[in-house]
Structures are given as structure tokens and as C-alpha cells.
Amino acid sequence: MDVARDRGAVAIDRDECKGCGLCVEACPPRVLRLSAELNRYGYHPAEYLGSGCTACGICYYVCPEPGGITVLRRQVA
């Protein structure tokens, strides 16, 4: 894990996500992808790969679903 790049994390509400892929395309460090599994509404939701988030928040701003994405910023000492 590259601590310099891992400044945050992304929490995605699987049931809010409609699988549009806007966050996946907009993510500069490319740490999001569409899941192979379906959510309860039949969409392939976005998922966080688990590391590499820079906490830029671009995914949050491009997401059309309110509450679909939360960006968590890590305290950097």
C-alpha cells in the first residue's frame, strides 16, 4: 500500500448505485470498478478496490445518486 497515495477510502451504498459507471470513469487513481455481482435492484454497482484512494472527491461529485458515494478522508500525520 502506497501511504502517499492512500489518503482516504470510498464507501458505496450498493443499493443506491445504479451502475452508471460515471465514478469509475472519473476516478483519477482508478480505484473503482463495476461489480460483477448485482445489487437487489439488478444493477452492477460500483465498488472500491480497497486501497489507493487519494480522497479527491471527484467520484462523489459525478455521482447522480444522492447518498450513493461517501469519501472518507484519512488523517495524514
Domain count, the chain: 1
Task: Return the ∠ at Cα 62 (arms to 11 and 67), rounded to 5°.
Answer: 40
Q: Structural domain of residue 16, as residue ranges?
A: 8-72
Residue 21 amino acid letter: G
CATH number at residue 30: 3.30.70.20
With respect to residue 32, please indicate whether it lies within any of the assigned structural domains.
yes
Q: Is the pLDDT of residue 1 over 70?
A: no
Residue 3 lies in a domain: no
Nearest to 24 by CA among 51, 52, 47, 2: 47
Judge whether residue 60 has pLDDT over 80.
Answer: yes
pTM confidence score: 0.87
Q: How far apart are the first and last CA of the chain?
A: 16
Residue 1 lies in a domain: no
Q: What is the pLDDT of residue 5?
A: 67
Concatenated DSSP letters of 30-61:
--EEE-SS--TTS---EEE-SS------HHHH
The verdict on residue 24 lying in a domain is yes
Is residue 35 in some structural domain? yes
